[in-house]
Structure 1
Amino acid sequence: MLTDDGVPVEAVYEPCTAGSGAPVDAAAESLAIVVAHGFTGSADRPAVRRAARAFAQRAAVITFSFRGHGRSGGRSTVGDREVLDLAAAVAWARELGHARVVTVGFSMGGSVVLRHGALYTDVDADTDTGTRTGTADSGVPDASVRVAARERHRGRTGAHSDAVVSVSAPARWYYRGTAPMRRLHWVVTRPSGRLVGRYGLRTRIATEEWNPVPLSPVQSVPLIAPAPLLLVHGDRDPYFPLDHPRMLADAAGAGGAELWLERGMGHAENAADDALLTRIADWAVAACPIMDN
């Protein structure tokens, strides 16, 4: 795939298996799940492949490597321009004939699917763009910001998601409240850390700082509606404590998101067991029913 800013991104398409040899029904053929991995992950990492196998029992699956990861080009911007990578994958799913697309992101990918859900919409169906406004103390952009952001990202047709699942995502940028996040910031911000990232973690990291700072996850969440949103977080996540998913759920407002707090779960795709992955896939199918013409 090629992103709108010209970065080549490796991607893998897997048709729905429907599990145990069962016939693939119309709902499964219509739906595609696009998987957005965490920082230092890639399309061929074991945890991502395991998630893809679980999801493929319910729908077609696209996995890809964010820029700077795996065999994709470019350098990682740790959640900023990665939204363009996700948009390319979603658009590819629609080009392959899938009428409904659900994005499922883990950790960094979880923040990317939230921003993508806010910035890319179905232009034909989006009749209320700009109607949800934030207050000064909510951190939510006002209507003019929302309209400007969406206009900026309407270049690729069909790049919007129909439902969003964010697993182990941060609520806010620059969080350093845990030891793993302090180590991650060292990897991203220091020259010696970026060397470790490149040669030890197989992740090429951009040296430029964000300019401008992208819309944060908590700012993005209120803009995702009317698309369904599922937030999943483990109560033993060593990176982001439970105030992060609760902040995201609060920002979504009443009925704006479903929140699953998973007992005993750690962080992201490495901690998501098969049972949880299957539940996520079932939620995706239920969230995007086939509509009668």
Structure 2
Amino acid sequence: MSSEKEGAFHIVDVPSITPGPLRATLRTSDGVRVEAVHAPYKAPHTDSVTDTAIVVAHGFTGSVDRPAVRRAARAFGRRAGVVTFSFRGHGRSGGRSTVGDREVLDLAAAVAWARELGYARVATVGFSMGGSVVLRHAALHKDPADGARTDAVVAVSAPARWYYRGTAPMRRLHWVVTRPAGRLVGRYGLRTRIHDRDWDPVPMPPVEAVPLIAPTPLLIVHGDRDPYFPVDHPRMLAAAGPAELWIEPGMGHAENAADDALLARIADWLSVP
């Protein structure tokens, strides 16, 4: 595998934003087709919409139609327009998963699409593998003229460093990714098509991306009962650059463990100027 915050959510009239849910197939800069869904926000009892979109980056083996992703989209949709998508090798998207490397291109396509839909402000929220992707994406897309740039970043249950095998779930994941038999399990058991090549070159680790994100606002969220990555990962990320850190008592891993109350708090954080 290869390698000043813009303000609160405020309700405005944005005629160019599509008025209803929309499915699309995006094409990344390296030619991969990525399925995506846009759900616009509308204030209750009005025809107004918000000028902000949240782009959701799911975890490994997730997809745009997985229940936990749809639940997150509904929670965020109470405050903003929402774009969800399936990373390469997941769902109906093409290509094969590179487990966080070239997935940055998938996220860039989704963010650019949100801006094409008419949103003036776009935030990214990533879970687990998607958390590592939103960090690297924010570090790589900082030019104000870049249509794929993000205006705020939230990484939930993200690793700080690559090749971590310190927990049993991560050892199992490495078996799935690196062994032919594991990739068969990934394809047929987890519905995830995984690339059979090692990273070359190794992509920038998330902890090295964090210092490059400022002045874009950054929030790190992690559960203190995460079975994949212990709390030294989020602490390392938060210490690497300007970031707010939430360690959530009793929370497990990623979108499956993020309840509606936490998702609402994340949306509230994104709305703070």
Q: Same fold (TM over 0.5)?
A: yes
User: What pairs up with 1:183-202 in 2 under 5 angstroms?
Assistant: 183-202=172-191
How far 1:23 moved relative to its partner?
Answer: 3.7
Corresponding residue to 1:90 among 92, 95, 111: 111
Check if 1:15 corresponds to 2:40.
yes
- Equivalent position SS for 1:276: helix
Q: Name the counterpart of 1:174.
A: 163
1:22 Cα deviation (Å)? 4.9
Secondary structure (helix, strand or coil) at the match of 1:84 reads helix
Which amino acid is 2:243 matched to?
Answer: A
State the secondary structure of the residue aligned to 1:52: helix
Letter in 1 for 2:244: E
- Structure 1 residue runs of 4+, over 6 Å off? none
Query: Size of the alignment, in residue pairs?
Result: 248
Contact 1:235 1:241 in 2 (8 A): yes
Query: 2: distance between equivalents of 1:57 and 1:264?
Result: 25
Residue type matched to 1:12 in 2? V
Kept in 1, the 8 Å contact 2:42–2:50? The answer is no
- Residue 136 (structure 2) aligned to one of 109, 115, 120: 115
Backbone CA RMSD of aligned residues: 1.1
Q: TM-score, normalised by structure 2?
A: 0.89
Structure 1 residues not aligned, in runs of 5+: 125-156, 288-293
Question: Which residues in structure 2 correspond to 1:81-160 (within 5 Å)?
Answer: 81-124=102-145, 157-160=146-149
1:282 maps to what in 2? 268
CA distance in 2 between counterparts of 1:194 and 1:284 reads: 37
Letter in 1 for 2:237: L
Cα shift at 1:164: 0.3
Whole-angstrom CA distance in 2 between matches of 1:32 and 1:207: 34
Give, in whole Å, the separation in 1 of the partners of 2:72 and 2:46.
21
Task: Please list every run of 5 or more consecutive structure 2 residues that lacks an aligned counterpart in the other structure.
Answer: 1-25
Q: How far does residue 61 in structure 1 lie from its aligned partner after superposition?
A: 0.1
Q: Report how far residue 24 of structure 1 moved.
A: 6.5
**Structure 1 residue aligned with 2:210, among 214, 221, 227?**
221
The one-letter code of the counterpart of 1:98 is Y
Q: CA deviation at 1:122?
A: 2.7
The answer to whether the 8 Å contact 1:175/1:181 transfers is: yes
Residues 72 and 258 (structure 1 numbering): CA distance in 2 closer, same or farther, change over 3 Å? same
**AA of the residue aligned to 2:162:** W
Query: 1:224 & 1:171 partners in 2: Cα distance?
Result: 15
- Per the normalisation by structure 1, the TM-score is 0.83
* Bigger share in strand: 2
Q: Structure 1: which amino acid aligns with 2:263? A: L
- Rounded Cα–Cα distance in structure 2 between residues aligned with 1:262 and 1:93: 30
The answer on whether the counterparts of 2:76 and 2:82 sit within 8 Å (CA) in structure 1 is yes
